[in-house]
Structure formats: C-alpha cells, structure tokens
Copies of this chain bind each other. A is one copy, B any other.
Amino acid sequence: MAADLLDLNPPVGKREQTKVANRAAILEAARQVFGELGYDVATVRDIIRRTDLSVGAFYNYYRSKEEVYEALADDGARRFRPILRKQYQEAGDFESYIRGAIRAYLQFLLAEEESWQQSAQAANRNHPTLRVETPEMMAVFAEVKAAIAGVIERGLAPRVDADYLAASCIAVAREIGERMLERRPINVEEAAEFAVALILGGLTALPRSTVS
C-alpha cells in the first residue's frame, strides 16, 4: 500500500497504529461499561457496542472478558503510580505526604471522571448491585494504600497501627472522593482539605462549615 511509504522508519505501520488504537478503544469502552454495570452484568457485547469493532476483534486483542478487566487495572495503576511517587519525593514529613497523596488522588479521580460516571447511574439502579467499581479504581486504591503503609513503616509517621491507619486513610479518601464527585460545583480543594484535616487532627480540626 501507498501508506506504507510514509511510516517506514518507526516500526509503527498503519497496522501497528490501528492495533494500538483498537486496544485503547476496547479498554476505554470496558472502563465505561464495567463502571456502569459491574463486571458480572457487563457483557462483551456491551463493550464492543461502544466501539466500531466486532466481537471477533475483541478476542483478537484480549483473550477473555477477564483479561480486559485485568488490563484495565494495570492501566490505572500504571498511570497513577508516577503521580503518587512524585508526591512522595516532594514531601518531607508524613503530614505533607498525606496531604499531597490525598490531593493527588482526588485530582486524578476528577480527571478520570468522565470514564467513571458510573456512580450516579449505579447508585439508583433497580436491580440490587453492590458498590460497582472499576478495576482501575481498585488498583489506584491499592497504590495509595501501599504508599501510605510504606511511609508509616519507614518511620516517617508516629508509631501507630499502620495497617489500621492506611486502611482508614484510604477509606476516607475514597468516600470523600465519591461524595465530592456528586456535588456541584466539584471542589477538589475543599474535599482534600476536609479529608486531610480529619486524618491529621480529627473532628476538632475540621474546617467549620460556612454554609448550612
């Protein structure tokens, strides 16, 4: 084909490009679908329907429904890890690390929002379904948790129960994040401030509500 003459130098032929684009398209579609329906309810057809590909093509790129799911998790973790690492490098003490990590997490959450619109829809579904989460989201959680636990273990924080603390931080960040996305306007700073204050100083340290 004529097109071959154009992209010879990088080993990225038109074929290569299409392959990459297709993989990405499937991944993105899967992100949305898993977010909206959950792993079990989502069907492979649901995924490819948001794509201009065929069922067969799906299986050319991923060997199974489960494999996309895992790829999605990998993808999320891979993208979030550097952000988190940066926070670690820039922060001196535990307090600023927590602050940085939580803010980073909430920002990442907001940035990815359109892919994860699920919350709203999933919440008021008639069929009872528990807490639907993107594998990607889970992976990000895992990253944060590992980071916090690691910091604690390296002695950068008071010798408190590291496991409980990490779990609590994650829980708070996650829950606050979820509420944050449902508010209008979305205010990352406010949410981050709240979460950080609670974790660092507890109830008494929380910012006083200006409204209601």
**Does the CB pair A70–B179 fall under 8 Å?**
no
**Does the CB pair B133–A206 fall under 8 Å?**
no
**Does the CB pair A129–B39 fall under 8 Å?**
yes
Picked from B131, B163, B197, B204, the residue with its CB within 8 Å of the CB of A179 is: B163
Of residues 175 to 212 in A, which have CB atoms within 8 Å of B's CB atoms?
A: 175-176, 178-179, 191, 194-195, 197-209, 212
Minimum CB distance partner of A198 in chain B:
B168
**Does the CB pair A179–B164 fall under 8 Å?**
yes
**Does the CB pair B206–A203 fall under 8 Å?**
no
**Does the CB pair B164–A191 fall under 8 Å?**
yes
**Does the CB pair B202–A201 fall under 8 Å?**
yes
Docked Cα-Cα span, A204 to B201, in Å, equals: 7
A23 on the B face (CB < 8 A): no
Closest Cβ of chain B: how far from A204's Cβ, in Å?
A: 7
Known: A39-B129, A165-B206. A171 touches B160 (CB 8 A): no
Docked Cα-Cα span, A212 to B208, in Å, equals: 35
Picked from B133, B176, B191, B200, the residue with its CB within 8 Å of the CB of A130 is: B133
Closest Cβ of chain B: how far from A56's Cβ, in Å?
A: 13
**Does the CB pair A175–B170 fall under 8 Å?**
yes
Listed A/B pairs (5) with beta-carbon separation below 8 Å: A158-B206, A164-B194, A168-B176, A198-B199, A200-B202
The 10 tightest CB contacts between A and B, nearest first, are A202-B202, A40-B40, A171-B171, A171-B175, A201-B202, A160-B206, A167-B175, A130-B133, A200-B202, A168-B172
- List 9 additional contacts besides A130-B138, A167-B178; criterion CB under 8 Å: A98-B203, A158-B206, A164-B191, A165-B198, A171-B172, A172-B172, A199-B203, A202-B203, A202-B205
